[in-house]
A and B are shown apart, each in its own frame.
Chain A
Amino acid sequence: MSEEIKGKILKHDTQTRTMHWIHLLAFIILGLTGIGFYWDIAGIANIFGGPANASLVHRWTGVIFTLGPTLYILLNFDRFSRFVDTISTFTRNDFAWLKTMGGYVPFIKAEHTPPQEKYNAGQKILGGLIIAGCLLIIITGFPMWLWRDMLSSAFLALCYNIHFWTAMIMILLVAGHFFLAAIHPKSRVEFASMMLDGYVDAQVTAHHNAKWFTQLQKIE
C-alpha cells in the first residue's frame, strides 16, 4: 500500500472491550486457582485466603466467566453474529495466509501477505478454539460443583478430565495470544484497540486487514 491513509478505525467498541476485560480477568483467576487445586500449591491457594476460599472464588468466578459472554451475546447479537461469520469463513486468502503464518514466524518467509478480513486466519482459528474451549469448560464445570453428590463417579471423572485438559490447552492458547497481541513487534500495534480505547491505526489496518478495510465506512 503506497498511499498513506491518515485516520483511526474503531475496531472494538466499548461493550466488546468490557466483555474481553471481564473474560480475561476471570480466566486469569480461574487458571490460577485451578492450577493451585490440581497441583496442590499452597502458595496459590493462600493468595485467595486458603484452599476453601480459593475453591469458592473459582466457582463464583466461573459464574462470571459464563455470564459475561452470555450477556454480551444477548445484548450484542449483531456483533456476535458478524464475529461468528468472520471466524467461520475461510477463503483461499486465509489458507494462503496460513502457509506463511502471516509472516509472524521467523523462519517462514512471507514476501506477500494475502488480504485479510477483520481477523486474520490465525485469529479465526484461535476464536473458534476459544469458543469451543469455553463451552467445554463451562458444561463440565457446573456439574462438578452443583451435582457432584448425585452424579456417578465415572461421569464426574469424565468432567474432571475434559475440564483439566481443555483448561491446559486454553492456557497455552491464551499465552500465545498474549505474546502476539502484546509482545510481538509486528502485531502489538493493535494492543490498544482491545485493551484501551478501541481504535487502531488506519494505515496498519489497510495493510493487515485489507479486505475488511474496504468494507468500512467513514464516520468523521
Chain B
Amino acid sequence: MHIFAEKAGMTRRQFLKGSGLLAVTVIVSGIFAKIGIDAFAAGDNYIAQRAAGLYSLDEKMALRKSHENPEIIEIYREFLSPGEEKYLSAKAHHLLHTKYGKNIPAFIEELKAPGQNENSHEAA
C-alpha cells in the first residue's frame, strides 16, 4: 500500500496563469465598476440638467406663486369663498380635493346635493 501526492510548489507557467486570472478578475471588476460609475454620473448629470431646466422655466414665469395669481384670487372671491380669500373653505375643499373610488355617479350626486358645499365639510 503506497500513498501518492502531487509535487508542491509551482512552475513559472503556473504562476503566470494564476496571477493572470487574478489580473483578469480585477480588470473585469474594474470595467464593471466603471460602467456603474458612468451610469451613476449620467443619471446625476440628467437630474442636474432637469433641475436647472425647471428653475430656468420658473424664473421666466410672470407669476411664480399660485396665491398671487389674480385668476385664483378672483375664483376664491367670487365662487369658492364669496367675498374673501379663504383658501381652505368648505366649498374649495369639496370641489378641489381629489377623491378616489369606482362609483363616479355617486360622487357626482354628492357634489349636486343641496347645501353639501356650504356646511358639510367645515369640520373636515
Interfacial residues, chain A to chain B (CB-CB below 8 A): 6-10, 73, 77-78, 80-82, 84-85, 88, 118, 131, 135, 139-140, 143, 147, 150-152, 154-155, 158, 202, 212-213, 215-220
Add 5 more A-B contacts to A6-B1, A154-B39 (CB < 8 A).
A84-B18, A139-B28, A151-B36, A155-B39, A158-B35
Which A residues are CB-close (under 8 A) to B11?
A: 85
B18–A220 CB distance below 8 A: no
CA distance A6 to B2 in the complex (A): 7
- Least Cβ–Cβ distance between A80 and chain B, in angstroms: 5
B40–A218 CB distance below 8 A: no
- Least Cβ–Cβ distance between B4 and chain A, in angstroms: 4
A81–B5 CB distance below 8 A: no
Interfacial residues, chain B to chain A (CB-CB below 8 A): 1-11, 13-15, 17-22, 25, 28-29, 32-33, 35-36, 39-40, 42-43
Instruction: Give the residue name and chain of the A residue nearest to B8 (CB).
Output: A78
Q: A78-B10, A82-B10, A139-B29 are in contact. Are A202 and B2 (CB under 8 A)?
A: yes
Q: A143-B36, A155-B39 are in contact. Are A219 and B3 (CB under 8 A)?
A: yes
A81–B39 CB distance below 8 A: no
- Least Cβ–Cβ distance between A166 and chain B, in angstroms: 13
B4–A155 CB distance below 8 A: no
A216 in complex: contacting residue of B1, B5, B43, CB < 8 Å? B5
A216–B6 CB distance below 8 A: yes
CA distance A151 to B42 in the complex (A): 10
CA distance A141 to B99 in the complex (A): 42
Instruction: Give the residue name and chain of the A residue nearest to B41 (CB).
Output: A152
B43–A217 CB distance below 8 A: no
Most chain A beta carbons < 10 A, residue from B5, B29, B33: B5
B4–A202 CB distance below 8 A: yes
CA distance A85 to B29 in the complex (A): 22
CA distance A140 to B8 in the complex (A): 35
Q: A85-B17, A135-B25, A135-B28 are in contact. Are A152 and B1 (CB under 8 A)?
A: no
Which B residues are CB-close (under 8 A) to A8?
A: 1-4
A81 in complex: contacting residue of B2, B3, B18, CB < 8 Å? B18
A131–B21 CB distance below 8 A: yes
Most chain B beta carbons < 10 A, residue from A8, A118, A140: A8
A73–B14 CB distance below 8 A: no
B25–A81 CB distance below 8 A: no
- Least Cβ–Cβ distance between B51 and chain A, in angstroms: 16
B2–A217 CB distance below 8 A: no
- Least Cβ–Cβ distance between A4 and chain B, in angstroms: 12
